[in-house]
Structure 1
Amino acid sequence: ECDTQEKINFEVRMREGICRLLAVSTQKEQLLRAVKSLMVCNARIRAYRAQLQGRKGEPGPGSTGEQSSENGTKDRMACRAKVAISDIRIPLMWKGSDHFSKKEKSQRYAVFCLFRMGAEVFDTEVTVVDEAVTDICFENVTIFDEASPDFQVKVEVYSCCTEESLYITNTPKKLAKKLKTSLSKATGKKLKAALEEDSTEPLLPADPVIHGAKYSLLAYTTLGLESADDNFRTHNLTITGNEESSFWLPLYGNMCCRLVVQPSCMARDMMAGFLNHQQMVGGLTSWRRLYCVLRGGKLLCYYSPEEIEAKMEPALTVSINKETRIRAVDKDSKRRAHNFSVINPVAGEGVTQRFAADSRDELHQWMEAFWQHFYDLSQWKHCCEELMKIEIMSPRKPPLFLTKEATSVYHDMS
């Protein structure tokens, strides 16, 4: 809760700085970026406050707890994942006469995207488009670090016509102060108290009014687990406004992007330690000691941890997926045999690999890790078939009003 409050305080300070910048800005490019930043700050403050209010209504720690069960599903929580959205292309549907006329001067629009997931809010750079541009393109890679399998990323596209004249009116005083002075003293105080009762901060001052730099919601969509793919996919957009709106752009109603989901169970070691592996040599049973790592639907077995650092191939790889069956054989402590078998179907027959832990506690730790892994795989579904890669591109910041050519979805769809 303290961490969330600190985030709110930070955004409030950022907001105050942006308002001061707006008061002295004269350049159109600077104003458009500052107004966008102000919108992002406000969105984050609202999201953090909603998170705080939600926590106040949650049951306290200890009232409900995560419990393991024999089949590994009761009250179990799936691992978290990184969700990355990138390479956004939004095709425009200009009339042929508009796009091919090559006018020297046409209306320009500043456009950016806002991404929301829970209390996290991210944005893209502002890009400017006109009738010579066939696709709105955003090169940003936006990453959400703590997504659950039921995540929802709301993508909002905002636009603003940049041809309108820009001027700033005075920043209004605090809304609460206005209420207090415009109404009777007693009524104003009561209303001010009611407005601030459930708020974590006093009421924020109203935004400066920048005529000619007002962004409006142009289109939006929501992406979830079913939308995740290592390749580009097309998603439907819900378009707001119409041709009479000053911010309106002729969208096809589609958006292309990559939505990559990287569950922790695919990218990190979920369990690691030494196990003894049974093998047959010349018809005789022998055991070899291996350092085993559970990750990405596989049990990777090395002779030592140093082999992992040296990026050597594992001595043995055993699949751990929905077809796998694991049986524990917890014998008495006198014989010191804490075995388990991993059985995978191969060509219609079960292939068994037998392992032994050093102690009963270690056996239980491994079994718990397997049950959790099975549950994670079941919840993250197709995202666990193969590790999706998140490509981080170096940030580029070209001048806002520089029109650039891009690979065109428009021409592909025409």
Structure 2
Amino acid sequence: MSTDLLISKPVNKEYDLEQKIEVEIKMREGSARLLAAARHRAQSLEAARALLTSNERMSAYMAELQRRKKESSNKPSLPVSAARVSLSDLRIPLMWRDSDHFKNRGDYRRFAVFCLARVGTEIHDTALLCPVDRALTDVTFPDVLIFNNVPAEFEVTLEIYSHILQEDLSIASTPRRIKRSIHSSISRTVGKRLAASLRDELNSGEIGPHFELMASARLTLDDTDDNIHTHDLILNNLENKNHSLPLFGHFCCRLAAQPECVTKEACSGSIILDGQTCWARIQRFTLQAWDSRKLADEEQSPFSILPINRETLIQRSKSSSRELRISNTIEGSEKMTTIRLETADEAQKWLRQLVAHAKDHLRWRHAAETIQDVPSIESARNSFISNKRQGSLYDETPLIESVETDYAATRPTVHEIFGLTPSTSLSSCSSTSSPPSLRSRSLSTSGARKSGSATLRSHWPFSNKNHD
């Protein structure tokens, strides 16, 4: 009977995978029809994004299906601890030239941008941001992407896709009209480069917008934290440089992982703890005990909490097959706790769960030591609806920061250095205005820095996590 169960389990998994492939095939067909029938730019872009996402999911499902069919189905699979992983606060700075952003001239390009995040066969896409042009210093996505049943050895792959909006140029409304009016609107050098890109687009024969992979990144358990950190991007070299999104080479995000045993109990039941009968539960890397099950169901405070972590020693008692010994080192001294079960089988079950719980603590490392917050799907949706675009990274970031607290309260910001009011952004400065020079303002603040004898450090958000 047990052999039949082991064989049928992979078959059910393969059936579920085939069902997912069928769903994505239908989604792909629907997106292709919508793309062919679309008459507005927003419809075409959304359909192209949905089509690309469906293609990526279908490819991932088919590759996983082939991998499972090659593996032997007779091998019993051991239970592996899983977690919920969230990717949020995704922010990608852009690198425009000074004349492009501050003076609003030069680079005419506009883009439509979205991201794909994948863990194994689970792939999520972000919202489509359009248009992204020289007025924006960074691309901010409000999405909170949730991944379920993620093993400790997970790898999150983030991919940034963009499409250049040729028809968004102010000199014309369609590529063909742009091509006819190049000679009278822009310089000869830029015109040749633009005409070549438009000719490729007109002769490609592709239906609808084509999104290209701009950059990618890989994140693991080591990158998880409750705070936002900066990570490196691997930029993709395109043949047509004019289609490349001006990426800075870094991005900011919050990647959090929460093991399932934090919110779900691994085992519960009646035990005898140091001679006292109680109701116990293994959860959140602890063994919690209450006087009765009713108190546990009411979420009352337990009278005993034993840590179950990588340092915990768990073994069966030599004197009785129904007893287990749990040893912890607390404040330099060893504390031994004995629990007694009704039968030897119960003792074996609790021993197995306690040992697995301790191994999970070792496997999840810092994510088990400090519990990270992973929002639920409902709260993630509410965050997506209510979240508004943040301000510019240029406007929000102080140029310098002091380690000392007395100077931190009076450190100059971008607005103070350039003589701007809080309601004025850097992009609103005209070229004819003559604010005090950066050198004079730096000299005026040097006295405060010298008197505080504080060590200054860079405060740009593009520094690596290790430098925070």
TM-score above 0.5:
yes
Superposed, which structure 2 residues align to 1:75-154 within 5 Å?
77-102=79-104, 106-128=108-130, 129-154=132-157
1:388 corresponding residue in structure 2: 372
Change over 3 Å in CA distance of 1:386–1:404 after alignment to 2: closer
In 1, Cα distance between equivalents of 2:73 and 2:283: 33
* Contact kept in structure 1, 2:279 and 2:292, CA below 8 Å: yes
Give the AA of the match of 1:108: R
Distance apart, 1:11 and its partner CA: 0.9
Among 63, 66, 70, the residue aligned to 1:53: 66
Change over 3 Å in CA distance of 1:395–1:388 after alignment to 2: closer
1:17 corresponding residue in structure 2: 30
Q: Secondary structure at the match of 2:166?
A: coil
Stretch of structure 1 that moved more, 240-249 or 340-349: 240-249
1:344 corresponding residue in structure 2: 328
- Higher percent of residues as strand: 1
Distance apart, 1:105 and its partner CA: 10
Among 292, 297, 303, the residue aligned to 2:291: 303
2:225 corresponding residue in structure 1: 229
Distance apart, 1:409 and its partner CA: 6.7
Distance apart, 1:362 and its partner CA: 0.9
Once the two structures are superposed, what CA deviation does each residue of 1:1-31 show, in whole Å capped at 9, x if it has no partner? 1111111111111111111111221111111
* Contact kept in structure 1, 2:140 and 2:389, CA below 8 Å: no
Among 58, 65, 72, the residue aligned to 2:76: 65
Once the two structures are superposed, what CA deviation does each residue of 1:143-168 show, in whole Å capped at 9, x if it has no partner? 22121122111100001112337989
Q: Which has the higher contact order (CA 8 A, sep 6+)?
A: 1
* Contact kept in structure 2, 1:51 and 1:119, CA below 8 Å: yes
User: Kindly, what percent of the aligned residue pairs are identical?
Assistant: 31
What TM-score comes out, normalization by structure 2 length? Answer: 0.69
Is residue 272 of structure 2 the alignment partner of residue 276 of structure 1?
Answer: yes
In 1, Cα distance between equivalents of 2:39 and 2:23: 26
Q: Secondary structure at the match of 1:255?
A: strand
Root-mean-square deviation over aligned CA pairs: 2.7
* Contact kept in structure 2, 1:326 and 1:343, CA below 8 Å: yes
Once the two structures are superposed, what CA deviation does each residue of 1:355-374 show, in whole Å capped at 9, x if it has no partner? 21111111111111111112
Superposed, which structure 2 residues align to 1:289-300 within 5 Å?
289-300=277-288
Change over 3 Å in CA distance of 1:259–1:404 after alignment to 2: closer
Change over 3 Å in CA distance of 1:119–1:316 after alignment to 2: same
Q: Secondary structure at the match of 1:246?
A: helix
In 2, Cα distance between equivalents of 1:83 and 1:345: 31
1:3 corresponding residue in structure 2: 16
Change over 3 Å in CA distance of 1:15–1:208 after alignment to 2: farther
Is residue 176 of structure 2 the alignment partner of residue 209 of structure 1?
Answer: no
Once the two structures are superposed, what CA deviation does each residue of 1:246-298 show, in whole Å capped at 9, x if it has no partner? 331222111111111111223311111111122xxxxxxxx322111111211
Q: Secondary structure at the match of 2:372?
A: coil
Change over 3 Å in CA distance of 1:98–1:79 after alignment to 2: same
Once the two structures are superposed, what CA deviation does each residue of 1:202-246 show, in whole Å capped at 9, x if it has no partner? xxxxx98235x2111111011111111121111100111369523
Q: Secondary structure at the match of 1:210?
A: coil
In 1, Cα distance between equivalents of 2:94 and 2:266: 45
Once the two structures are superposed, what CA deviation does each residue of 1:72-97 show, in whole Å capped at 9, x if it has no partner? xxxx6531111211110111121121
Is residue 410 of structure 2 the alignment partner of residue 408 of structure 1?
Answer: no
Change over 3 Å in CA distance of 1:140–1:152 after alignment to 2: same
In 1, Cα distance between equivalents of 2:236 and 2:230: 19
Change over 3 Å in CA distance of 1:14–1:167 after alignment to 2: farther
Is residue 290 of structure 2 the alignment partner of residue 288 of structure 1?
Answer: no
What TM-score comes out, normalization by structure 1 length? Answer: 0.77
Is residue 51 of structure 2 the alignment partner of residue 38 of structure 1?
Answer: yes
Q: Secondary structure at the match of 2:317?
A: strand
In 2, Cα distance between equivalents of 1:167 and 1:2: 47
Distance apart, 1:330 and its partner CA: 5.6
Give the AA of the match of 1:320: I
Structure 1 unmatched runs, 5+: 67-75, 169-206, 279-286
In 2, Cα distance between equivalents of 1:208 and 1:12: 23
- Higher percent of residues as helix: 2
Give the AA of the match of 1:78: V
Among 349, 367, 372, the residue aligned to 2:356: 372
In 2, Cα distance between equivalents of 1:326 and 1:15: 52
Once the two structures are superposed, what CA deviation does each residue of 1:39-65 show, in whole Å capped at 9, x if it has no partner? 00111111111111111100122xx33
2:430 corresponding residue in structure 1: none
Superposed, which structure 2 residues align to 1:326-345 within 5 Å?
326-329=314-317, 331=319, 338-345=322-329
* Contact kept in structure 1, 2:115 and 2:159, CA below 8 Å: yes
In 2, Cα distance between equivalents of 1:12 and 1:388: 36
Give the AA of the match of 2:270: F
Distance apart, 1:411 and its partner CA: 5.3
Q: Secondary structure at the match of 1:111?
A: strand
* Contact kept in structure 2, 1:267 and 1:387, CA below 8 Å: no
1:155 corresponding residue in structure 2: 158
Structure 2 unmatched runs, 5+: 1-13, 176-203, 398-459, 462-468
